[in-house]
A and B are shown apart, each in its own frame.
Chain A
Amino acid sequence: MLAPLSKNRGRMRQQLALFLTGVGLLLLLYVSFQYWQMYAAQKKLALAWQQQDARPANIVGSDSDALVRLTIAKIDLDAVIVEGTSRQSLKLGPGHMVDSAVPGSSGNSVIVAHRDTFFRHLDELQEGDGIYLRRRGEVYRFEVTQRRVVEPTDLSALRQSPSAQLTLITCYPTHYLGPAPKRLVVVARLIATPKTARE
C-alpha cells in the first residue's frame, strides 16, 4: 500500500523538478533575449551613427543625420539615444523625451534610461563629471551641476531652461528590485562650444 504511494510521490516530485527547471530555463532565455535585443539594437544604431558622423557636416541632413551618442566615461556609458521614453524605446537605449529640447541645443534636453541597463551607475556621477554628446560630427561637452532624488510626481526636472542643459533621469534606488519609488535626476550644463569631432 505504501510502496505505490511513495512511487507516486516520487514521480510527482520528478515532474515538479522538470517543470521548475523548464520554467527557470525559459525565464533565463527570455531575459537573455531581451538583453540581446537591446545589444543588437545599440550595435545597429552605433553603426548608423558612425556612418552619419563620417559625413561632412555641410551636407544637408536627412532623417538619419539625427543620431546622438551619449558618452559618460566615468560610468562607462556609451550609447546611442533613441527618441521617446516609451517602454519599447527604453528597451533599446536611453530615450530622449520628445517634448524636450534637441540634445545639444538650447533648452532642457531630457534623456531617460533604465536603471538596470544604461543608467545603472548614474548615481555615481558627481558634480563636475563630464558628459559628452556627439551628433552630426559635433561634440557637446556637458558638466554635471546637480544631482538630486525626487518623487516621480515632481516634474521640475522637465522644465525648460534658457541655456543648453541636459537632464538625465532614471529610477532610484538604482539597485532596487521592482518598481523603484523615486527618481534620480542628474542635471548637466553645456560648457564647451560644439566642435567637430575631427578637430
Chain B
Amino acid sequence: MKNMFLLIVAPLLLVTLGFGQAPAPSSNADQGSIKGCLGGSDGNYTIVEDGTAQTFKIASSTVDLKAHVGHDVEVIGQKANADTSSGASDNSVVVTGVNMISDQCATTSAATVSTPAVADQTPTATADSPAVTASTPVATASTPAAADQIPAATADSPAVTASTPAATASAPAAADPTPVATDSTPTAADQTPAQTASAPPTADPTPATTANEPMMASAGAPENNNQLPATATPLPLLGLLGVGLLATGLLSWKSRTN
C-alpha cells in the first residue's frame, strides 16, 4: 500500500516540477528583450538599444537595475502601453529580468539619456554597422542560451521576422517619410512611417528590399558567438532512457511476481 502510494505520488510530484520548469509559450507579442546600454538613475532608467540607438524607458522593474547602470545589458520584459499612439509611452518597458553582457557600454552612452523623444527614434547606425542594426529584438520572451546572445522571439511572438526598416535604413532613408523598406516587418519598436505592405518586385528574382542591403557588407554572425548554434536536444536521449528504465522496471517487477 505504502509502495503504491509512493509510486503514484513521486511521479506526480516530479511531473509537476517538470511542467513548472518548462515555460509556457508566451502569448504576448510585446514581450521581448532589448540589448543595449542601461542608463538613468533610481526609478528613471533608460536603455539605449544597441545598433538602432532607440531609447526605451523602463517603466518598472522587478529586478535591481542600479548595479547595471552604464553596463551593456540585455533586459527581458514587456513593452508597456503598446497600443497607445504616443511615441514616448510606446517605448516603455516593464523589465522582468536582466542579463549583463558587458560592464562597459559598447555604443552610445546611456548615462545621459532621459525620456526618449520621437526624434530619438531615428537610427544613427549606418551601413557600417549593419549586423547590429538589422533586427529589432522586440519580441523576445525567452532567455537566450549561453551560446546564443542574440535576442529571440518565442513562437507566439508574431514578429517572427522582425527587422525594423527604420533601423536598417541609413540616415537619409530614416529622414524620408516615404516607404523605403517594403519587405521588412514593422515591429512595436519601430515608429517611423517606413512601414508598408509588401511590394514584391516583378522582374528581378531578388526582391527589391532595401532593408537588409546594408547587412551585406558585414557578416551576419551574432556578437559574442564564435560557434554555429547547437541544435541538439536531449529529448531523444531522455526518451530512450525512459523506455529503457520502464522496460527494466517492468521486467524486474514481472520476474519478482513470477
Q: Which of A24, A97, A99 contacts B244 (CB 8 A)?
A: A24
Question: For the complex, is B177 an interface residue (Cβ under 8 Å from A)?
Answer: no
Binary B-proximity of A1-41 (CB < 8 A = 1, otherwise 0): 00000000010011111111111111111110111010011
Residues of B within 8 Å of A104, CB to CB, are 183, 207
Interfacial residues of chain A within 94-144, with CB under 8 A of chain B in the complex: 95-108, 110, 112-117, 119, 135-138, 140
Please give me the residue from chain A that is nearest to B139 by CB atom: A83
Let me know if A87 and B247 touch, CB within 8 A. Answer: no
Let me know if A25 and B237 touch, CB within 8 A. Answer: no
Residues of B within 8 A of A (CB): 3, 6-7, 10-11, 14-15, 18-19, 22-25, 29, 131-132, 134-135, 137, 139-145, 148, 150-163, 183-188, 195-198, 200-207, 209, 211-213, 215-223, 226-233, 235-250, 252-253, 256
Q: A16-B252, A33-B22, A97-B150 are in contact. Are A161 and B216 (CB under 8 A)?
A: yes
* Nearest-Cβ distance from residue A142 to partner chain B, whole angstroms: 10
* Nearest-Cβ distance from residue B26 to partner chain A, whole angstroms: 10
A to B CB contacts below 8 Å, 20 in the list = A15-B3, A23-B245, A24-B244, A26-B15, A26-B18, A33-B19, A35-B235, A61-B198, A66-B185, A80-B155, A83-B140, A83-B159, A102-B184, A102-B211, A105-B184, A107-B216, A153-B226, A158-B219, A158-B221, A183-B228
Question: For the complex, is A82 an interface residue (Cβ under 8 Å from B)?
Answer: yes
- A-B contact number at CB 8 A: 364
Let me know if A89 and B231 touch, CB within 8 A. Answer: no
Q: A101-B134, A102-B185, A159-B220 are in contact. Are A83 and B160 (CB under 8 A)?
A: yes
Residues of B within 8 Å of A150, CB to CB, are 228
Let me know if B231 and A113 touch, CB within 8 A. Answer: yes
A18-B7, A83-B159, A157-B228 are known; give 14 further A-B pairs, CB within 8 A. A26-B242, A41-B156, A45-B155, A63-B157, A82-B154, A89-B154, A91-B233, A105-B163, A113-B231, A116-B235, A155-B219, A169-B229, A190-B205, A192-B205
* Nearest-Cβ distance from residue B102 to partner chain A, whole angstroms: 17
Let me know if B237 and A114 touch, CB within 8 A. Answer: no
Residues of B within 8 Å of A101, CB to CB, are 134, 163, 212, 215, 220
Q: Which of B216, B221, B253 contacts A14 (CB 8 A)?
A: B253
Let me know if B209 and A102 touch, CB within 8 A. Answer: yes
The answer for the CA separation of A162 and B215 in the assembled complex, in Å, is 9
Q: A99-B150, A150-B228, A154-B228 are in contact. Are A24 and B158 (CB under 8 A)?
A: no
A-B pairs, top 4 by smallest CB distance, nearest first, are A84-B152, A24-B246, A27-B242, A21-B249
Let me know if A153 and B227 touch, CB within 8 A. Answer: yes
The answer for the CA separation of A152 and B232 in the assembled complex, in Å, is 12
The answer for the CA separation of A64 and B162 in the assembled complex, in Å, is 10
Please give me the residue from chain B that is nearest to A82 by CB atom: B155
Let me know if B25 and A105 touch, CB within 8 A. Answer: no
Let me know if B185 and A20 touch, CB within 8 A. Answer: no
Q: A41-B156, A63-B158, A63-B186 are in contact. Are A160 and B197 (CB under 8 A)?
A: no
Residues of A within 8 Å of B131, CB to CB, are 99
Residues of B within 8 Å of A19, CB to CB, are 249
The answer for the CA separation of A44 and B10 in the assembled complex, in Å, is 33
